[in-house]
Amino acid sequence: MIKLLSTFKDYLYSIKFIKHNKKVFKKKERNTKNIILVEINSLHSSIIAYSYLANFLSDYYDANIHAYKFNVQKKILYKIYDFINLKNIINYSKIYKSFGVNRIFENNLTFDEKQQSMLISDKIYKSLKTKKNVLDIIIDGIEIGDLLYDSFLKKYNEATIDIKEEKFKNFLFHFIEIYFFWKKYLENNNVKALIVSHCVYHQALPLRLAISKNIPSFQASAAYIYRLSKNQKFAYKEYFDYKKEFLKLPEYKKIDGIREAKHRLQQRFSGKVGIDLRYSKKSAYGKFLNTRLLKNNDKIKILIATHCFSDSPHSFGELLFPDFYEWINFLGKLSAKRDYDWYLKTHPDFIQSTRNRIKSFVKKYDRFELLPAEASHLQIIDEGINFVLTCHGTIGHEYAAKGKTVINASLNNPHISYNFNIHPKNIQEYENLLLNLKNINFSFDKKEVYEFYYMKYINEKANWLFKNHNELIKNIGYYAQFNPVIYKIFLDQFSEDRHNEVLKSLKNFINGNDYLFIPPD
């Protein structure tokens, strides 16, 4: 009954948003073949962002707005679930049409096109010898291997890829069909701009093709808008410029920023949940357990801070290893070469499948020991951990703030522009470091940690659509923004003045060439 009532409320919020859009964004049938393409999804806060960006681009390029949804493979049980799911009372087509979408379509191929796609898929599949080859897949000069890799892991909740599996072969064929559809579509239509939800997974296939043709392309959400290009295929990579951008700030802002960064990190270390990690549900810095975690000896002690295997390992770009599974497997083999104490730890709010796979590594490699998920990092630090290994996790700045040495297994990590972590450039350098930990004498300036924290979490500009997006998320919770309740909040805050401010700031962004949309203060 409660679920039914909640769904009915969501429906009412959506209806009000639709009525609002029809008043604010007048539908225009333009006598033009120009098209603005926008992705259909169920991320409701992002849909508000699309309504603004798509309409602005429509006026800017004198173009009609077309929306697309992915026709993805689903098992019959999932199709039945989708059919009976109460949430489907919300008609996304009506929401999109309400802000001016003229046409909605799916990525369907003709029989002849499927045959052509099958020939390409078969040729690619026969060329694959290792999983690394999957990452190297390029068609027409366009890199798509990482998208294929991560999409497969996510769809099947897998830790890694086995290219010999029939399900991988079938998935590859379907993935190439999606690629082939978008290749033909962009060749045959005059697309002036593209709006997507992600720069990863299969959702980014039209993006990769569009930027190869120099079509203006954007990843949009209620928090950020990124302009993607051949030189920058991913969102959220402004961290490469953090150090340079911090130097440009006025002195008072640097001082205040570092002070605030220290304060917030202390809050995180005190066990408060969600301090600048809006998706977090449990603290990794809770109370000490009654039993000792680390062995009381003189051996070098290493913590491997694990990642969720299926959660887009290539979301920032390539790692030193093909995926998180191969990274840990490499460390397992290496553990036999050095008599260190090796500890693994998952997030406290772990996904069960991830922890089960970690347990399989512990069984396979004798020197691996799995710590309790609820174990506090404060206790691990207090008991004398020496080194921490991650690919690109937040632990990179958290442990550095505690004076610990962190070694990353990716050059595409948020801390790369600073020297408070070690960033090996390749697997050989990574291996040499780990085999010679006793010779590492690594020091760094903690001020850089706070500088990074300020740039990442405090100086961020997420207020282009809502006046204070961070405060909004703090009040309603990170995941609530993706539900229709966000329409109610948006409409409660709406005013003509704010509406015009958003359009004016969008104009400045579109007329420029900035990677990230930073609205005026």
pLDDT at 305 over 50: yes
Residue listed under structure tokens 């409320």: 9
pLDDT in tens, 43-62: 999 999 999 999 999 999 99
CA distances (Å), 124 to each of 104, 140, 321, 421, 447, in order?
31, 13, 21, 38, 49
Mean per-residue pLDDT for 495-513? 95
The span from the CA of 458 to the CA of 452, in Å, is 10
Token readout for 249 is 């700030």
Write the pLDDT tens digit of every residue in 116-147.
899 999 999 999 999 999 999 999 999 999 99
Q: Which range, of 76-90, 204-218, 226-240, 449-463, averages the lowest pLDDT? A: 76-90
E-state strands within 74-181: 101-106, 138-139, 142-143
**pLDDT for the residue 286:** 92
Token pair recorded at residue 404: 């610990």
Residue 350 has what pLDDT?
73
* From 230-239, 275-284, 341-350, the region with the lowest mean pLDDT: 275-284
Residue 189 has a pLDDT of: 97
**Which range among 133-147, 228-242, 410-424, 470-484 shows the weakest confidence by mean pLDDT?**
470-484
**pLDDT at position 287:** 94
The amino acid at 417: S
Can you give the pLDDT at residue 138?
97
Kindly list the distances between the CA atom of residue 8 and the CA atoms of 40, 93, 460, in Å, as whole numbers in the listed order.
Answer: 22, 18, 35
Task: Express each pLDDT in 226-253 by its tens digit.
Answer: 999 999 999 999 999 999 999 999 999 9
User: pLDDT tens digit string along 368-392?
Assistant: 999 999 999 999 999 999 999 999 9
Give the pLDDT band of residue 451 (cuts 50, 70, 90).
very high
CA distances from 324 to 144, 303, 421 (A): 19, 15, 19
Interatomic CA distance for residues 384 and 456, integer angstroms: 28
Residue 73 has a pLDDT of 54
| Residue-averaged pLDDT of the chain | 92
Q: What is the pLDDT of residues 170-181, one digit of tens each?
A: 999 999 999 999
CA 314-200-321 angle, 5° bins: 10
Pick the closest to residue 99 from 25, 14, 17 (CA basis): 25
Retrieve residue 65's tokens: 């707005």
Rounded-to-integer distance, Cα 62 and Cα 51, Å:
16
Sheet with 101-106: list strands edge to edge. 101-106, 64-69, 34-39, 190-196, 217-220, 225-228
- pLDDT band (50, 70, 90) for residue 1: low
Closest residue by Cα to residue 149 from 139, 129, 163, 165: 163
Residue 47: phi, psi to the nearest 5? -60, -35
3-state class (DSSP) for residue 370: strand
Instruction: Average the pLDDT over 300-329 and give the result.
Output: 96
* pLDDT value at residue 107: 87
Residue 406 tokens, joined = 């962190």
Say how far apart CA 233 and CA 229 lie, in whole Å: 6
The C-alpha angle 239, 240, 244, rounded to 5 degrees, equals: 95
Q: Which two tokens stand for residue 358?
A: 């970690």
- Residue 398 reports pLDDT greater than 80: yes
Rounded Cα gap, residues 189 and 205, in angstroms? 16
pLDDT above 70 for 82: no
Residue 29: other Cβ atoms inside 10 A: 8
pLDDT digits (tens, 9 = 90+) for 264-276: 999 999 999 878 8
pLDDT for the residue numbered 277: 84
